[in-house]
Structure 1
Amino acid sequence: MQTEKIVDYIVNWLKDYAINAKVNGFVVGVSGGIDSAVTSTLCAHTGLEVLTVEMPIHQAPSHVTRAQEHMQQLSERFSNVKTTRADLTPVFEAFKTEVDLEGEETTVNMALANTRARLRMTTLYYYAGLHKLLVAGTGNKVEDFGVGFYTKYGDGGVDLSPIADLMKSEVYNLAAFLKVPQSIQEAVPSDGLFGDARSDEDQIGASYPELEWAMTMADAGKTADDFSGREKEVFTIYKRFNMANKHKMEPIPICIIPKNLK
């Protein structure tokens, strides 16, 4: 992997896109995770205006600490980076008082978790409109096009996706090159949508290295019958998420009316 050349390519791509769109730069939601840290650092390297936003909602203290460490480091390294914080916990709690919370507990909790992501998306677009910025997505290739591990119109609601063609392992390579804080590089991946310590692997049932392998095998035309043991289990997990989340990864279906009916 030609890490330095990839970094240069993404930075130039970001800069060209922003200039052609006639905007001032980018806004990035910072979570304390590897993907948002790499994305915001890449945006910072463009020299354009970058606003990083921390948006806690009952967030685990470790996530808050890492996010703040990264934002401080980035603003010290790059004069074009500004930071802000929007505590969305009161907004989230107010939302819960106005909706029906009856139903199966797991279903309600998942709906509320997705609501957190959508509140953050709304916040990022508020700042984007305020400062004439683009919302930079932080999803990697496995999440965005493999298992669909993101919220539709939440963290999936962005203007452009600079790292969506990179596997998670490749994002880690960029993180080391870009000098992302070590605490973030070593942290266990977690979406932080439930306010507890559960990791992405806890939710999915497979690690990112395993999912990368499964995605590669699926793209090569393999099926579950080609494997056994843990490999078969991981491949089955990958295919289950991939099929269930197609509605996120494919264009919104449009009902095309036949011309003879118009």
Structure 2
Amino acid sequence: MQTQKVIDHIVNWLKDYAIKANVKGYVIGVSGGVDSGVVSTLCAMTGLDLLLLEMPIRQKEDQVNRAQEHIADLKRRFPNVQAKTINLTPVFESFEDTVEDHVEGRWSNNLALANTRSRFRMLTLYYFGQLNGLLVCGTGNKVEDFGIGFYTKYGDGGVDVSPIADLYKTEVYKLAKALNLIESIQNAIPTDGLWDAERTDEDQIGATYPELEKIQKEYGTKTVDDYQGRDKEVFLIFERMNKAAQHKINPIPVCDIPEEWREG
């Protein structure tokens, strides 16, 4: 990959889009992961206003430390960067207490509740974005957004622009190195940060990003019968998740009304 050309292209794309949209810049949630680390750095490089929001919800200490270290590094390198920490734990726990009595089963494993964390963060980003004339910048990569749909609908999927959604995760790591991100983020194990117990992306998905990328690049041209062993296992994981995520990946369906029914 021609890393520097990709970096320059994304930075110029972000800057042009914001100028044409008549906004001051971007707001982005910083989690301590490589995706948000790369995107926030690219946004900072535009020279436009950039507001970084760290939004912990019962967050692990290592995630908080990485996020804070990255924020400090960007503020040191770029004068256009500002940051806030918005502790959403009380908001989330109030919601949790409100709905808990209406839920059956094992509460701690409630995926809907986990996704609520992401949706509270989306609301917060749009709140501060509107206050400051900023667009919400997404951090999803190609595997997450268009491969297996590994994101929260109207959570981290609720954004105005998506600058790295055409890059695979391994390519995002290459950008992180080229952008000289702090070592802790370059070496961070991917996690969505939505659970009290530590759950890496690989734990949840059952496959690594390089394994998924191999399948995604061939998906549609090969079938399960073309694979053996571990590749076959990953193909089945990818296919299952891809099919289940079509309601995320595709635009919202609209029920068309025949024109002749509008007459009279």
Give the alignment's TM-score, normalised by structure 1. Answer: 0.97
The separation in 1 between residues aligned to 2:196 and 2:80, in whole angstroms, is 32
In structure 1, the gaps of 5 or more residues are: none
- Structure 2: 5+ residue runs without aligned partners? none
SS in structure 2 opposite 1:9? helix
Question: Secondary structure at 1:150's aligned position in 2?
Answer: coil
Alignment of 1:84-123 (within 5 A): 84-99=84-99, 100-105=101-106, 109-123=110-124
CA RMSD of aligned residues (A): 1.1
The residue aligned with 1:23 is: 23
Does the 8 A contact of 1:55 with 1:120 survive in 2? yes
TM-score by length of structure 2 reads 0.97
**Identity %, equivalent residues:** 60
Q: Deviations over 1:25-67 (max 9, x none)?
A: 0001000000000000000000000000000001111100000
Q: Which residue does the alignment assign to 1:256?
A: 256
Partner of 1:61: 61
Aligned pair 1:9/2:28, yes or no? no
Deviation at 1:174, TM superposition (A): 0.4
Contact 1:15 1:48 in 2 (8 A): yes
Alignment correspondent of 1:238: 238
Q: Which residue of 1 aligns with 2:162?
A: 161
Query: Which structure 2 residues correspond to residues 145-156 of structure 1 after superposition, within 5 A?
Result: 145-156=146-157
Contact 1:39 1:162 in 2 (8 A): yes
Deviation at 1:258, TM superposition (A): 1.5
How far residue 108 of structure 1 moved from its aligned partner, in angstroms, is: 5.9
Correspondence for 1:73: 73
Q: Report the secondary structure of 2:184's partner residue.
A: helix
1:162-181 to structure 2, matched below 5 A, reads 162-181=163-182
Report how far residue 102 of structure 1 moved.
Answer: 1.6
Distance 2:102 2:86 in 1: 25
> Aligned residue for 2:142?
141
Q: Deviations over 1:151-191 (max 9, x none)?
A: 00000000000000000010000000111111011111000
- In structure 1, what residue type is equivalent to 2:29? G
What CA distance in whole angstroms lies between the structure 1 residues aligned with 2:125 and 2:171? 26
